[in-house]
């Protein structure tokens, strides 16, 4: 596991963009495509805008397939839909073709949306093992990642799949990749910054004794892949 700590968000986003571009170049060189899972939440907004502007000419974006690590159970036109934020800040500005974007179909019931998404992934990966080239993740101040929230069934789900989960604290359903599916990726990168995440990351990275139900981000440990944390000084201030 590689922990990178930056003084400013600008430096962090620039380095993370370079990291993404580097993996994209390798993947396109190897497979003529780059399978890239986006995170939701607010943290990646500036990164997506940077990729869509400063990095628009650095790779052939037409060879990138975009996926989502999780989705909220809201309409695709809802401001809280992760796909909409990515569409506005990254996908539309880069003119990504619809057939290169895998949105979660939240017009279906959560369980059906999860099954529908898994089916689309299986098709894309030709019914072989689903190995994303890069999964970008955020982390909540409660140490959740994707929609793997503390104390939910998703923590125990040991299948490499897409699942629907009811999150009591949010009083809503979510659709999410499971930890085993994320861990099949070649690269996983966390994008976590800000004082409010310091307590969570202290446990997620610092605790010898793991408690997956309390700190679900501890589940993320790519089998053959590489895990990198892109953080800032505020978020790592409690790490010894």
Q: Which residues contact ligand 6PG by CB under 6 A? A: 39-43, 69-70, 72, 82, 138-140, 144-146
Q: By beta-carbon distance, which residue lies closest to ligand 6PG?
A: 138
Neighbouring-strand partners of residue 177: 162
Which burial class, exposed, middle or buried, applies to 129 when counting CB atoms under 10 A from its CB (0-12, 13-18, 19+)? Answer: exposed
Nearer to ligand 6PG by Cβ, of 52 and 86: the residue is 86
Q: Smaller CB distance to ligand 6PG: residue 13 or 43?
A: 43
Query: In the bound complex, what is the minimum distance in angstroms from residue 72's beta carbon to ligand 6PG?
Result: 6
> What is the rounded CA–CA span in Å between residue 135 and residue 35?
9
Q: In what order do the strands lie in the sheet with 162-167?
A: 70-72, 172-177, 162-167
Q: How far is the CB of 159 from ligand 6PG (least distance, A)?
A: 19
> Which of 190, 180, 187 lies closest to 138, judged by CA?
190
Shortest distance, position 176 Cβ to ligand 6PG, whole Å: 8
Q: How far is the CB of 240 from ligand 6PG (least distance, A)?
A: 24
Structure tokens at 134: 């890069």
Nearest distance in Å: CB 57, ligand 6PG: 27
Do residues 104 and 68 lie in contact, with contact meaning Cβ atoms separated by under 8 Å?
Answer: yes
Determine the Cα–Cα distance for residues 133 and 26; give it in Å rounded to an integer: 9
Place of tokens 């629907």: 164
Beta carbon of residue 38, minimum distance to ligand 6PG (angstroms, whole number) = 9
Q: Which of 226, 225, 227, 205 is nearest to 215 (CA)?
A: 205
For residues 38 and 130, which CB has a smaller minimum distance to ligand 6PG in the complex?
38
């Amino acid at each position: 596991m590689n922990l990178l700590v930056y003084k400013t968000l600008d430096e962090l986003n620039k380095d993370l963009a370079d990291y993404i571009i580097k993996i994209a170049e390798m993947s396109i060189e190897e497979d003529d495509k780059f399978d890239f899972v986006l995170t939701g939440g607010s943290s990646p907004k500036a990164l997506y805008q940077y990729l869509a502007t400063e990095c628009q000419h650095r790779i052939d974006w037409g060879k990138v397939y975009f996926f989502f690590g999780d989705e909220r159970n809201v309409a695709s036109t809802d401001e809280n839909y992760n796909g909409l934020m990515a569409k506005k800040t990254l996908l539309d500005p880069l003119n990504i073709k619809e057939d290169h974007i895998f949105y979660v179909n939240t017009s279906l019931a959560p369980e059906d949306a999860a099954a529908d998404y898994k089916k689309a992934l299986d098709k894309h990966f030709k019914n072989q093992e689903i190995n994303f080239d890069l999964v970008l993740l955020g982390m909540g101040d409660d140490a959740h990642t994707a929609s793997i929230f503390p104390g939910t069934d998703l923590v125990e789900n040991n299948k490499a799949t897409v699942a629907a989960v009811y999150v009591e604290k949010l009083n809503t359903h979510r659709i999410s990749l499971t930890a085993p599916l994320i861990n099949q990726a070649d690269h996983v990168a966390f994008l976590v910054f800000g004082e409010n995440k310091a307590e969570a990351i202290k446990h997620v990275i610092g605790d010898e004794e793991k408690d997956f139900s309390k700190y679900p981000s501890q589940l993320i440990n790519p089998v053959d892949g590489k895990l990198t944390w892109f953080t800032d000084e505020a978020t790592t201030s409690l790490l010894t």
